[in-house]
Structure 1
Amino acid sequence: MYTFKNTEINNKKSSDFETKSLLYLLGMRSDSEEIELVTVDCFNDVTGSNADFSKLWDVQSKNHRSLPPSKIGESLSTLYDNYISTISFHDYILFIPRLKRDYLINPSINIYSYENINKEQKKGIEKKLKEKINGDKSGKVPPLFLDFLSKICFVEDNKRVSTYIKKISKFKNKRSIPEEIYNRIFLEIRNAQSALKNSYIENEKISHPSEVLKFNRHIRKADINTLLISRLVGIDVFSFPGIPLSFFDVLLDKDEEERKDLIQECNENLSRAFFDKNGCREFWKVTERLISLLKENPDDNIFDVYSNLMSTINVKTEHLTKETLLYMISLVKTGLTDAH
């Protein structure tokens, strides 16, 4: 049985730092593709999970202005609590600002294990962590103490807010979207994350990680991806009310039923391409190129844009058919027009 402790009650202001740690999980790790959702202030500040909750990534984030060894040790305590709990976590991550470089054996890296910390600093870290765990200054070594420390991953934040959003969106051309758009999206995610903390779950118990869903303190990757594409394109691609004006040229020679069927097919294809793990990168690549083409030539009709797109990019996913791409071009064209 797992009991939620030290949750932040009615905290209406989620820090940028916690949101960065959430986005780090979703877009900046080699195993980010496995993470399907992130819980907020349940097991820890943020905790990532795969689809069936068989794999959990636990993150404690600490945005202290100064992080002496004693503060580092104190910050590790909730990760230790989870390490010895009834739930198994795949990774234990302390997300922090840059440490003083003389704390580290190799100061050139910003993601490292406990072994990268110098012996002198380790003494202070371990002393404070023991005090925090034991509740006294006896210096007694807690269960699995050194084993726990060997499992910690330290991640230093050394990137701008916008970089975290760009990593999730998978856009390669950083100039195709204004910096302020990325910053606004970050704030929107931060506010959504903050709102999840307004419920009270202190001392609630669960027997399996999946039971955390009943508390509604989670954000799904799919929801963030949908938010991203709707904000970057300027329109909700997946629930557009009606038919984008420029797409009527594709529908001219069809009767009413054929039009309905084609619109439905295009929407389904877009969803498949977007939410398919193997095809989502293709979706982002096409979207980025579309935005670029339409910004360069906003008055081009959708057939010209499609022709230019096909001449500059190799669309590999079967879901993005010609009609689906023309529909997508129409949506993007509408979104960019309405945004100006």
Structure 2
Amino acid sequence: MPYKVQSSEKLRKSGADFETKAMLYLLNFREDSSQINYFVVDFFNDITGMDRMARKLWDVQSKASKTGSAKTIGRELVTLYKNHVSDFDFFTYIIFLGGVPDTFRIDAKQNVFQSTNITPKALKSVLSGLKEECTEKEYIESDKITDESLEKFLKLVWFVVDDKEPADYIKAIISNHPKIVPSDSELIAIFNEIRNKQSEKKNTIVEGVVIDHIDEVLSYGRHLTTSEIRLLVLQRIIN
């Protein structure tokens, strides 16, 4: 079955900054980061990592707010769930968060966790929010919105709470070259340039586009590559 693009969006600066953090999280801070070659912008989701052969997809929804309730977080999971029940195979599902309520986590020291670290009360609210949002979306069939299916999906999701400044994400790219690390202001300028390049990828309209195979996404030009990002950073520092 084909995949139809729905709910693509343009963001204000704060949201764009956070989407760039989410992309650079995929680039640097996962054990499997080295497998990711493409970063697809606002097509399947806010950011979707893809391997060189277009066989594995790391799906990321970002939510910059630090004050959202557990139910609100659940509602934000809807695009991840839409992809989960699609006929395309997504390797992992990640929600990249600006913050969570104090009562959300069992162990508040964990910033990367799954549903086993969410308190029972909060998890119930997450499920409620997700179910409500799925019901409101016309692109999710009603027979796929069951408690059993939603609960199974929630066990697959990784919750990542952002705990870094923009400069930290650039430092991670050049961690093997500690002698050339510039000032934080220069690192932030590089971060902003990456953010702008990422935002430019949204200039083409893809709402309603239908593709039959994952690799077709590359023909729409809504992607950056790992080597492209790393080269940009090194060139700016050297220059």
What is the TM-score with the length of structure 2 in the denominator?
0.91
% identity of equivalent residues = 36
Matching residue's letter, 1:37? Y
- 1:233 is matched with 238
1: CA distance, partners of 2:91 / 2:161: 19
Matching residue's letter, 1:93? I
2: CA distance, partners of 1:143 / 1:210: 31
Contact 2:70 2:101 in 1 (8 A): no
Q: 1:5 to 1:210 in 2, by over 3 A?
A: same
Q: 1:176 to 1:145 in 2, by over 3 A?
A: closer
- 5 Å-filtered alignment, 1:325-336, equals none
- 1:115 is matched with 116
Which consecutive residues of structure 2, in runs of 5 or more, have no partner in the other structure?
none
Could you report, residue by residue, the CA deviation over 1:157-185 in whole angstroms, capped at 9, with x for unpaired residues?
Answer: 01011111111222463884211121111
Structure of higher CA gyration radius: 1
What is the TM-score with the length of structure 1 in the denominator?
0.65
- 2:6 is matched with 5
- 2:207 is matched with 202
Aligned to 2:159, the other structure's residue is in SS state strand
Cα distance, 1:37 vs. partner? Answer: 1.1
Q: Which structure has the higher relative contact order (CA within 8 Å, separation 6+)?
A: 2
Cα distance, 1:64 vs. partner? Answer: 1.6
| RMSD of aligned alpha carbons | 1.9
Which range moves more in the overlay, 97-106 or 75-84? 97-106
Which range moves more in the overlay, 176-185 or 22-31? 176-185
Could you report, residue by residue, the CA deviation over 1:281-321 in whole angstroms, capped at 9, with x for unpaired residues?
Answer: xxxxxxxxxxxxxxxxxxxxxxxxxxxxxxxxxxxxxxxxx
Cα distance, 1:144 vs. partner? Answer: 2.1
- 2:221 is matched with 216
Cα distance, 1:102 vs. partner? Answer: 2.4
Aligned to 2:155, the other structure's residue is in SS state helix
Specify which of 138, 141, 147 is matched with residue 146 of structure 2.
141
Aligned to 1:232, the other structure's residue is in SS state helix
Contact 2:66 2:100 in 1 (8 A): no
- 2:90 is matched with 89
Matching residue's letter, 1:47? T
The answer to whether the aligner puts 1:35 opposite 2:36 as a matched pair is yes
Contact 1:7 1:42 in 2 (8 A): yes
Q: 1:203 to 1:176 in 2, by over 3 A?
A: closer
Contact 2:67 2:99 in 1 (8 A): no
Count of aligned pairs between the two proteins: 231
Contact 2:4 2:209 in 1 (8 A): yes
1: CA distance, partners of 2:148 / 2:90: 17
1: CA distance, partners of 2:180 / 2:102: 32
Contact 1:133 1:142 in 2 (8 A): no
Q: 1:93 to 1:174 in 2, by over 3 A?
A: farther
Aligned to 2:103, the other structure's residue is in SS state helix
- 2:19 is matched with 18
- 2:192 is matched with 187
Q: 1:101 to 1:12 in 2, by over 3 A?
A: closer
Cα distance, 1:126 vs. partner? Answer: 0.9
The answer to whether the aligner puts 1:150 opposite 2:151 as a matched pair is no
